[in-house]
A and B are shown apart, each in its own frame.
Chain A
Amino acid sequence: MLRGKLLCAIGALVVGSLFVQPAAADKLKIDFWYGNSGDISKRVQEVCQHFNDSQADYEAVCTSQGSYYAAVQNTIAAFRGGKPPTIVQVFDVGTLDLMLSDAYYPAYKLMDDNGYKVDWSNYFPGIRAYYASSKGEMYSFPFNSSTALLYWNKDAFQKIGKTEAPKTWEEAAADMKALKGAGYDCPLAFDISQDESWQLMEQFSAVHGEPIATKNNGFGGLDAELTFNKTKFVKFVTDLKSWYDDGLAKIKSPNTGEDYVAAFAAGHCQMTLTSVGDHGNIGRTADPGMHWDVAMLPVYDGTQRHNSFVGGASLWVLKGHTPEEYKAAASFLNFIAQPEQALFWSTVTGYIPVTKTGFDYMKANGFYDKPPYKGRETAIASLNVEAAGSGPGGIRLGSFLQIRGELSNGLQEIFANKASVQQALDETVQRGDAILRRFEATYKGKVLP
């Protein structure tokens, strides 16, 4: 009897769902795969919800793949299997792989074909340069964008009689000594494992205007060679090592028990270099009584400051879909580029607005005057220190995650006293170049768009 009732109930549910479905099925569904997880993933879902509620024709089905790597990896598998998502989020260093593939529908063309007039010059130049071809045509839509900042603890600096963050590394070194003298155990927190060298090497090189590779950091061709063993970066690593040896700077990673962001938020360390994307996170996790702020990355004395690089990810539209689906994709991308969405997105995450109108809209709304968000405009300033076109504006090197891995291993040798700074960096560059040559051979006959 019970089984009969159960079957009836299930039957009713099935029939019921059949009646409900058609209403939802009226909307054309498109898949959007992204890599963010945790809190940011919830925010992406909210953006999708806003889009789905804003119009009656399309429905974006947004799915987190767990990590940036997984998003790319799963999309490649789906693409090879002939069932790619319509839109996929690809992180900054994966940009080149996409550009050299035949898998995408360029963003500028998609918008043109579907009748959207986009003012591409509205995007901040540093952000535009990263995702555009050499002709300046945008291939993907900047989505979550960030850059590195110096986070500093105002309470601790007050103890050493300072009210401002250090502007030069010389000043920073003096501050670290003073903080140590004032009883602070960990003046500067940093990490050198795996990807974590991005603020130490990439952003350092960017703000100092030092090349990471020849050919304009790879923008000029696939035959670029690494150069960071011959730049100011060598001096920086040497200094960082001496600060580490003197106990002024400490390695803080999950392997030591607390990562550098958590160490700063907990007040255990007084300075750290990390993404503006962590601004919201630190604001939520730090003790409300702790006073802290952000500043642009320090530069060495006598160096003219340059733009920092943009990090984060962009949205690519993939081949293999119907014109209707592309119409839906264009509508979605147009929606998220609206200033109101920029305000929502930047408020809940800490990522920066990617367009000038988005930034102006947020300023006009008084966003940057409100306490929890105050300071985030420093990221925009850091990306726009100088006019466009004076530097490479980013990195366009193949297999860059593997190169980061080589650098991380090189740095670990240096900090474990297994190799001298120059020796380890020379070897890193040599191994990195071999990776670049391998990438070049894989894409033999291809030229950068």
Chain B
Amino acid sequence: MTVSNPGIDLAPRPPAGGEVFRRSGVGRRFAGVPLSRQGARVGAEGRAFFTSRWLGVALIAPQILLIFTFFYWPAGEALYWAFTLERPWGGGNEWVGLGNFTAMLSDPVYWGSIVSSVIFAAASTALAMSAALVLALLTDRELRGSRIYRSVLVWPFAIAAPALGMAFRFILAPEAGFMAYVNHLWPGLWNPALDGADAMICIVVAFAWKYVSYDFIFFLAALQAIPKSLIEAAAMDGASLLRRMRDIQIPLVAPTLFFLIVINLTDSFTDSFGIVDIMTQGGPARATNLMVYKIYFDGFKGLDYSGAAAQSIILMLLVILLTIAQFRFVERRIHYK
């Protein structure tokens, strides 16, 4: 999934591309070569484009080859398997048409899995982004120690999901770690081993904790790009700290906000199985059986390749739809300039 960085201006560029091209070393290499033999030329609007089709193809070929090998090929294979019953060790597969999809979609447990995925995505995105925004707003004020926070807050993103899952499983265990004290005060309050809601809170907290750092970097970068003069002017007009945040800083980081919503939601649908596998294994009683974990479990542990392939396609469609919906309905309200 590629989403362009809103830090980069998305509006039509001023016709300066040609100039940049000419100034670069690449431009000079073509100087003196007759126009017809030149691989690229500068158009009337100042944009650079290629006249020879093959040079362009040759330049994008490595990238296309990579994407084909590691994305389209396996995705095509999955598409085929989704319509068959594939034997794990090979040696035959039965064509079943839409059988795998109807089996999934007529299963109430699978719908339960979709619902828990949506709850998880919404909760973890909201938690991670709001925490990251608050931290970034505070760090941006250059309070004492903000340079340290800036470095320290980035680290959690580098922690692998299994290690993270282990740590949080211990911290949130009802009979050991921190939550044991809470349970000591209010016996029976917290038990993710049997209470589905508690287990969901566990994976939401663990996942959000990791993404707080990621979101934080982007928010901080966006906040620091806001001209200080705007905030100083508002302060001189008597706007309070909260007012300045609400009326100036948050609207100005809206493009980043939108970018992070897309990334966070997408990742919470597709990148959460490591944490689920270590912390809850989809339980208790399927409360945290997220779609992506079910794919992993059915495909890799159950060796039901076709069922997992069909589920992957459903998940892929869901994420695509969600992203389209966001661009269609949310992005309209974002002003990049």
Distance in Å from the Cβ of B70 to the closest Cβ of chain A? 15
* Size of the chain B interface, CB-CB below 8 angstroms: 43
Q: B224 at the A/B interface (Cβ < 8 Å)? A: no
Please determine whether A255 and B279 come into contact, CB atoms closer than 8 angstroms: yes
Report if A413-B285 is in contact (Cβ < 8 Å); known contacts: A401-B302, A442-B306: yes
Q: A438 at the A/B interface (Cβ < 8 Å)? A: yes
Of A76, A253, A435, the contact of B88 (CB 8 Å cutoff): A76
Please determine whether A256 and B174 come into contact, CB atoms closer than 8 angstroms: yes
Of A69, A102, A399, the contact of B300 (CB 8 Å cutoff): A69
Question: Which of chain B's residues has its CB closest to A251's CB?
Answer: B193
Please determine whether A193 and B89 come into contact, CB atoms closer than 8 angstroms: no
In the complex, identify which listed stretch (A108-116, A206-214, A326-334, A404-412) lies at the interface while the others stay far away: A404-412
Cα A418 to Cα B284 in complex, Å, equals 11
Question: Among the interface residues A101, A255, A256, A401, which one has the most CB atoms of the partner chain B within 10 A?
Answer: A255
In the complex, identify which listed stretch (B14-22, B175-183, B208-216) lies at the interface while the others stay far away: B175-183
Q: B114 at the A/B interface (Cβ < 8 Å)? A: no
Of A79, A409, A443, the contact of B286 (CB 8 Å cutoff): A409
Q: Chain A interface secondary structure, helix, strand, loop or mixed? A: helix
CB interface residues, B 125-178, toward A, < 8 Å = 169-170, 173-177
Distance in Å from the Cβ of A374 to the closest Cβ of chain B? 32
Please determine whether B88 and A97 come into contact, CB atoms closer than 8 angstroms: yes
Q: A5 at the A/B interface (Cβ < 8 Å)? A: no
Cα A103 to Cα B89 in complex, Å, equals 7
Of B89, B94, B109, B284, the contact of A76 (CB 8 Å cutoff): B89
Q: A254 at the A/B interface (Cβ < 8 Å)? A: yes
Residues of B within 8 A of A94 (CB): 303
Please determine whether B283 and A256 come into contact, CB atoms closer than 8 angstroms: no
Residues of A within 8 A of B174 (CB): 256-257
Report if A441-B94 is in contact (Cβ < 8 Å); known contacts: A255-B169, A255-B280: yes
Interface flags, A408-442, vs B, CB<8A=1, else 0: 11001101101000000000000100010010011
Q: A341 at the A/B interface (Cβ < 8 Å)? A: no
Pair count A-B, CB < 8 A: 110
Residues of B within 8 A of A103 (CB): 89-91
Report if A73-B300 is in contact (Cβ < 8 Å); known contacts: A256-B173, A257-B174: yes
CB interface residues, A 74-100, toward B, < 8 Å = 76, 79-80, 94, 97-98, 100
Cα A405 to Cα B304 in complex, Å, equals 14
Residues of B within 8 A of A102 (CB): 89-91
Residues of B within 8 A of A255 (CB): 169, 173, 192-193, 199, 279-280
Q: A227 at the A/B interface (Cβ < 8 Å)? A: no
Report if A79-B285 is in contact (Cβ < 8 Å); known contacts: A69-B300, A256-B175: no
Please determine whether B302 and A98 come into contact, CB atoms closer than 8 angstroms: no
- 29 A-B pairs within 8 Å (CB atoms) are namely A72-B303, A73-B300, A97-B88, A100-B89, A101-B91, A102-B91, A193-B281, A251-B193, A253-B193, A255-B193, A255-B280, A256-B173, A257-B174, A399-B302, A402-B298, A405-B301, A409-B283, A409-B285, A412-B283, A412-B285, A418-B285, A431-B109, A435-B302, A438-B304, A441-B85, A441-B96, A442-B85, A442-B306, A443-B87
Residues of B within 8 A of A (CB): 85-91, 94, 96, 103, 109, 169-170, 173-177, 180, 191-196, 199, 279-286, 297-298, 300-304, 306-307
Other A-B contacts than A399-B302, A402-B302, A444-B85, 10 sampled, CB-CB below 8 A, are A69-B300, A76-B88, A100-B89, A194-B281, A256-B174, A256-B191, A257-B173, A401-B302, A405-B301, A442-B87
